[in-house]
Amino acid sequence: MSISVRDITKDFGHFKALKSVDLEIPDGQLVALLGPSGSGKTTLLRIIAGLEFADSGTVEFNGSDITDKTTRERHVGFVFQHYALFRHMTVFENIAFGLRVRPRRLRPSNDEIKKKVNELLGLIQLRNQAGRYPSQLSGGQRQRVALARALAVEPSVLLLDEPFGALDAKVRQELRRWLRQLHDEVHITSVFVTHDQEEALELADIVAVMNEGRIEQVGSPDEVYNHPATSFVYNFLGNVNLFHGRVDDGKPLIGDSPSGHLLFVRPHLLEIARQPNGATHFRATTKHINVAGPLVKVEAITEWGAPIHVEMSQERFQDLKLLKGETVFIIPKDIAVFKQNGAA
């Protein structure tokens, strides 16, 4: 089912959570709402679910206006950040809940419910835990039960609020892959909220980057990462070095001469060399070198006194034999230029 969000505005007292937000979500896509806390992403998700109501604007499912419909009438599956499992029910009863509360004429028989729940228990690999209570499960298991519970009612869309936020890094990785796999099998239109750019880029078909109640950019992970529309998006998706500078004949020039342009360079797009090689360059003194991990991270101070971060491969580092406190040449390989107010 496709989702259209049109001109949605929402205030909480004086705080403007959403400022005229538009978003089109095509059928069957896995969409990430990505942004820092307070950017309005969870509010937008809750408005789509009908748990919150917009001050103005409309929400459409498959082209029909559902703005005034209650949560119950929208048939959405919602997965909460802290799972919100029914603590007094077993795993089995949690998953069966949505089927048991149906009006009598729509309610499946006990045997059908049993079959359906067992199917879902198999899907989330928790067949042996059906009789346990939520408090007896680990975080990752709880989140899988929450997902199965939402899927049991065969919702038209699946909405997930920071689904992996409360889990440790390893479990998060696993669940992320599992969710991607699940989505490829079930093909249900899904929207998830996250503040983790890596998660959004890895998992989603479409990423909507949000900031201060607005959507900054919508696009595929490749588009938003490699062609960021605003300085915020560039800044938020990955580490950056920020320089002030100017543009001469369409050529960005880094230097301490503020003239209305912001220049961004990602740490891995700065090259360290002992010779200037004729390219655009500046001088810097290395201050700290971290060799742990797949990339070597170098912290340096530029000739005008600003700190910069450079990343390079272990091989390149071995070749250079870089030392702490050494003065080297820095060659930017790709510079992204934005006007001071943020637009490209």
Terminal Cα-to-Cα distance of the chain (whole angstroms): 34
Tokens of 38: 């307070």
SS3 285: strand
> Binding residue for other proteins (CB under 8 A) from 7, 22, 68, 87?
87
318 is a site residue for other proteins (CB under 8 A): no
Q: Are 40 and 21 within 8 A, CB to CB? A: yes
| Shortest distance, position 98 Cβ to other proteins, whole Å | 4
CB-wise, 134 or 245, nearer to other proteins? 134
Q: Which stretch binds other proteins (CB under 8 A): 148-156, 206-214, 251-259, 294-302?
A: 148-156
> Binding residue for other proteins (CB under 8 A) from 7, 26, 82, 273?
82
149 is a site residue for other proteins (CB under 8 A): yes
Q: Are 179 and 203 within 8 A, CB to CB? A: yes
> Binding residue for other proteins (CB under 8 A) from 128, 135, 275, 341?
135
Tokens of 133: 């209570």
**What element of type H or E holds 134?**
none
Q: What is the dihedral of CA 191, 235, 178, 218, to 10 degrees?
A: 30
Q: Which stretch binds other proteins (CB under 8 A): 134-142, 170-178, 246-254, 287-295?
A: 134-142
Q: How far is CA 295 from CA 207, 274, 314, 317, in A?
A: 26, 20, 6, 9
**What element of type H or E holds 68?**
none
Q: Can you say whether the dihedral through the CA atoms of 34, 37, 40, 43 is positive or negative?
A: positive
- Count of residues near other proteins by CB under 8 A: 30
* Subset of residues 150 to 209 that bind other proteins, contact rule: CB under 8 A: 150, 152-153
Contact string 55-74 vs other proteins (x = CB under 8 A): ---------------xxx--
49 is a site residue for other proteins (CB under 8 A): yes
107 is a site residue for other proteins (CB under 8 A): no
Q: How far is CA 194 from CA 120, 200, 201, 312, in A?
A: 25, 7, 11, 28
SS3 325: coil
CB-wise, 152 or 262, nearer to other proteins? 152
- The residue whose two tokens read 């070198």 is 289
- The residue whose two tokens read 């949505």 is 98
> Binding residue for other proteins (CB under 8 A) from 98, 163, 213, 228?
98
> Binding residue for other proteins (CB under 8 A) from 10, 23, 54, 78?
78
| Shortest distance, position 70 Cβ to other proteins, whole Å | 8
CB-wise, 145 or 296, nearer to other proteins? 145
Q: Which residues are 159's β-sheet partners?
A: 78, 191
Q: Which stretch binds other proteins (CB under 8 A): 20-28, 136-144, 286-294, 331-339?
A: 136-144
Q: Are 30 and 184 within 8 A, CB to CB? A: no
CB-wise, 80 or 178, nearer to other proteins? 80
State CA 276 to chain mean position distance: 39
Q: Which residues are 305's β-sheet partners?
A: none
Q: How far is CA 154 from CA 27, 42, 195, in A?
A: 15, 23, 27
CB-wise, 128 or 275, nearer to other proteins? 128
CB-wise, 125 or 181, nearer to other proteins? 125
329 is a site residue for other proteins (CB under 8 A): no
Binding site for other proteins (CB under 8 A): 49, 51, 70-72, 75-78, 80, 82, 84-88, 97-98, 101-102, 133, 135-138, 146, 149-150, 152-153
